[in-house]
Amino acid sequence: VSLGEFDLIARFFSRTPVRSDVLLGVGDDAALLTPPPGQALVAATDTLVEGRHFLPGTPPECIGHQALAVNLSDLAAMGAEPAWVLLSLSLPAPEETWLERFANGLYGLADLHGVALVGGDTVRGPLVVTVEVLGFVPAALALRRDGARPGDVVYVSGSPGVAAAGLELLQAGTADFASNDERVRRFLFAEPRLALGRALRGIANSAMDVSDGLLGDLGKLCGASHVAARIDLDALPVAALEHAYTRAECERLVLRGGDDYELLFTVSPAQAALAEEAATASGCTIHRIGALVAARETNASGSVTCLRNGQVVPGKGSGGYDHFAG
């Protein structure tokens, strides 16, 4: 059955917006939205390409979930509240069951966080999914990458590395997409840390989400803030992994694994207790993994240095990528 573009939009992407600040949603030339007075609009977009950002054969509900999750994670990392979503879909051939399942994945996560799909675009082409999310935050409270200061404590939320472990299971064929293995579920259905991000407003000096791996992303945060970081390898959260992996594998997964969408953030030592309370109240565990120092205190090998028992571990910093074989 060939499905026309307008039928397709009407059937799968026109659910009634769940928000009263949507004056006009899907159907007109553009959406009309009412931002709350006095807050900054926060906007982020991310594109997923089949074979590059998700494995061929990925269940459509996972693609729908992931396309939104990666964007919500960016808003979480800003301490922002998401409100509206736009969806641009490039599809090889509109297939009804695929679209139904994709829409369920996307709307499922959207409903969980009270965000409304208000528009998009639909074209024929290779499978590419682009989502844009809009939200808001009082500008002075936004969590930015460039606010970190020497002396800050470095935290990461949840259990980084678990999603990467799930990806490895799928790639090795040890597990399939229907697996109930916690690692696979975490990879396929990442949970953006929105409540934690909001809880850290006015407490964290800087934040970002971990999409490409903790070490590399911390390096980016350090670069934006002109600081350097010292990570204590003994403090890495490995509880969710250590039953199944060697210590070296755990460290590799936690430090280098992507796709977790945990939050990485820094807090001045005087605010650390407050940050821990706020995180607990938001329902998320956080782990103190290191501290920031002035950029000049580190050597030229990179902005992130790893320590074990207080000793520098050569080749494990952000500049030691090639040597980090685990």
The site for ligand ADP (CB under 6 A) is made up of 9, 13, 26-29, 87, 89, 117, 119-122
CA 107, CA 316: separation in Å to the nearest integer?
A: 41
Q: Of ligand ADP, Mg ion, none, which one sits near residue 263, judging by CB under 5 to 8 A according to partner kind? A: none
Q: Of Mg ion, ligand ADP, none, which one sits near residue 28, judging by CB under 5 to 8 A according to partner kind? A: ligand ADP
Q: How far is the CB of 54 from ligand ADP (least distance, A)?
A: 17
62: left (phi over 0), alpha (psi -120 to 50) or beta: alpha
- C-alpha angle 302-46-184 in degrees, rounded to nearest 5: 80
Q: How far is the CB of 87 from ligand ADP (least distance, A)?
A: 4
**What are the structure tokens assigned to 319, written together?**
């500049």
The H or E element that residue 264 is part of is strand 262-267
Stretch that binds Mg ion, among 34-42, 108-116, 117-125, 199-207 (CB under 5 A): 117-125
Indicate the burial class of 213 (C-beta count within 10 angstroms; 0-12, 13-18, 19 or more).
Answer: buried
Binding mask 218-247 for Mg ion (x = CB under 5 A): ------------------------------
Nearer to ligand ADP, 117 or 293 (CB): 117
Residue type, 316: K
Nearer to ligand ADP, 9 or 188 (CB): 9
CA 260, CA 68: separation in Å to the nearest integer?
A: 14
Q: How far is the CB of 25 from Mg ion (least distance, A)?
A: 15
Sign for the CA dihedral angle at 124, 126, 127, 132 comes to negative
- Cβ atoms of 158 and 193 within 8 Å: the answer is yes
Q: How far is the CB of 260 from Mg ion (least distance, A)?
A: 34
Q: How far is the CB of 119 from Mg ion (least distance, A)?
A: 9
Site size toward Mg ion, by CB under 5 A: 1
Nearer to Mg ion, 25 or 302 (CB): 25
**What are the structure tokens assigned to 128, written together?**
């590419």
Among 121, 146, 176, 234, binds Mg ion (CB under 5 A): 121
Nearer to ligand ADP, 120 or 138 (CB): 120
Q: How far is the CB of 5 from ligand ADP (least distance, A)?
A: 6
Q: Of Mg ion, ligand ADP, none, which one sits near residue 29, judging by CB under 5 to 8 A according to partner kind? A: ligand ADP
Q: How many CA atoms lie within 13 A of 229 on its CB side?
A: 33
CA 277 to chain centre: 22
- Cβ atoms of 156 and 101 within 8 Å: the answer is no
Sign for the CA dihedral angle at 112, 17, 48, 215 comes to negative
Binding mask 70-109 for Mg ion (x = CB under 5 A): ----------------------------------------
Spatial CA neighbour of 100 closest among 22, 15, 170, 185: 15
Q: How far is the CB of 122 from Mg ion (least distance, A)?
A: 7
Residues in contact with Mg ion by CB under 5 A are 121
